[in-house]
Structure 1
């Protein structure tokens, strides 16, 4: 349930390539220098956004994978390693490095740690991952699978260069979808590709422009909804969601309706929340999100039963008045 109304985003150094604080030898903290090295050595970039002294999963990833020789050996011919640290102890990093890391966090829209981005030597991302259990050998194999996304991307770009019209647009769309990146990342790093798709398919035979417009519309919806969340205005949020639901369809409408259920739950209107969950499920019963609705409904039913044992606010006030009168 992706809506930001309920979910919040979770959870020096020296320049050069000689050492790193958490990852150990072989990691850089200088992004520009890392790009130059990657271009010269014909390698990709592995960017580790981490909180080295507070993020539990970051520490596990470092201890279980990055520190080991099997990892370093497995990636040395493929990646230039870049550690972008956000420690609580800021004395570990120079002001210059802190500024660089904050700028890169914004540029790459990183919201949680650890975030591992695989990028080409120009810094364009082609895959994203994080913590993976199983140790260094398994992680290296995982990275190799992700590198295949770049192969698919580049192959599709080559096909697009030889095509025209909707065929060109389809090849470019295939390149973007192969990477499975967030829409914000695509907009930030591949805007030229998006424009090429629109130019090659002005009648939108691929449906890409329609899909893109729908995503932009939903992003605007989320942004406005977050304004109600910041003010803790549940009634306003509920009215806005109910008003907006008719403007969307399919899984996007499903997300909006289940958001309504979440708002009702925060208001402790559990019957309305349960009804909204059923309504959301009926909109797209085969969606990935719908598969989680039964569990959510059980949680609401349990919360409803628990709420029966809580004295109502009116009853509390009446009881207080009686006690004062006595």
Structure 2
């Protein structure tokens, strides 16, 4: 092979490596290497779980944010960038990388794409986000806000190390709450902290153990509800269960009851039940959803009321 051919092959290989990353240069597929780099350079990990050739929001995030120099400059001193891709075209990833990505998807409980996890150098997540509109500068500012969660977490952990009993438990709870992670993620990566809370607060003065138990109970409720064979069975189960919960969890359950009424054409009951759900936790984020739900039900009710009249006109030849 002559020199021209050698140079051409080298250029092609370089292009293949670069183009394998949806966000362009500066990313890695190697999670283990990324952790080592983050540790040595005192950086955090930005993990992008993406479907680079089929996920519309993933592609938008790449095109609007990750490909731009303003993003790369804004994060280069803070994060090691890790792209974990789940493409339809598997040929762009080695079998080893595909296996690694499948394992990480399970480990981090990734349900949708794009999911952006911010993790420390050990791979412990401290914040989660996804697509955000506004371009690279705004996204970098968003990441800086999320990165502050780690500082809050670490300070709370440090405070807990100096405390005992309920004070220690409260500091640990504050650390977990600051990250706003899903319960499954907390259990997978901070299970030791959860156990420390229980040990430090055996009487559950923080209420954390009760909170965990109720979340587990709510998850079991959802699983059993999905096993219902029809609307009547689902409605009976919901009515039986709603008295076992309180606060926003009860609000969600009563909201489900309203949805069942709507799906079975009982529009008045649905509207009344939605109002009951709103009253349970009037300051919750779900209230806005219930308002929209009521509007949709009222529209469906009006449409159903008009339908017989329209049919009558057709029968009369009008």
165-174 or 217-226, which moves further after superposition?
Answer: 217-226
1:307-322 correspondence runs (5 A): 307-310=304-307
CA shift, 1:209, in A, is 1.0
Structure 1 residues 94 and 263: alpha-carbon distance in aligned structure 2, compared to 1, 3 A threshold: farther
Normalised to the residue count of structure 2, the TM-score between the two structures is 0.88
Please say if 1:83 is aligned against 2:110: no
CA contact 1:45–1:118 (8 Å) conserved in 2: yes
- Matched residue, 2:68: 68
Q: Is residue 240 of structure 2 the alignment partner of residue 251 of structure 1?
A: no
The aligned counterpart of 1:9 is none
Residue 51 of structure 1 deviates from its aligned partner by 1.2
CA contact (8 A) 1:19 1:27 kept: no
Superposition pairs of residues 1-326 of structure 1, within 5 angstroms: 20-228=20-228, 233-310=230-307
CA RMSD of aligned residues (A): 1.9
Q: Which has the larger radius of gyration?
A: 2
| Residue pair 2:20, 2:92 contacting (<8 A) in 1 also | no
Q: TM-score, normalised by structure 1?
A: 0.86
Structure possessing the higher relative contact order (Cα contacts under 8 Å, 6 or more residues apart): 1
**For structure 1, which runs of at least 5 residues remain unmatched after alignment?**
1-13, 320-326
* Count of residue pairs brought into register by the alignment: 295
Structure 1 pair 199/136, CA: closer, same or farther in 2 (3 Å)? same
Higher helix share: 2
Rounded to whole Å, the distance in 2 between the matches of 1:70 and 1:295 is 38
The DSSP-based 3-state class of the residue aligned with 1:308 is helix
Q: Deviations over 1:116-136 (max 9, x none)?
A: 000001110000111111211
How far is the alpha carbon of 1:275 from its aligned partner? Answer: 1.8
Shift of 1:98: 2.0
Question: Which string of whole-angstrom CA distances, capped at 9 and with x for unpartnered residues, describes residues 231-265 of structure 1?
Answer: 5x222211111111111111111100000111222
**What is the aligned partner in structure 1 of residue 10 from structure 2?**
none
Gaps of 5+ in 2: 1-13
Deviation, 1:21, is: 2.4
1:261-282: CA deviation from partner (whole Å, max 9, x where unpaired): 1122222222221121111112
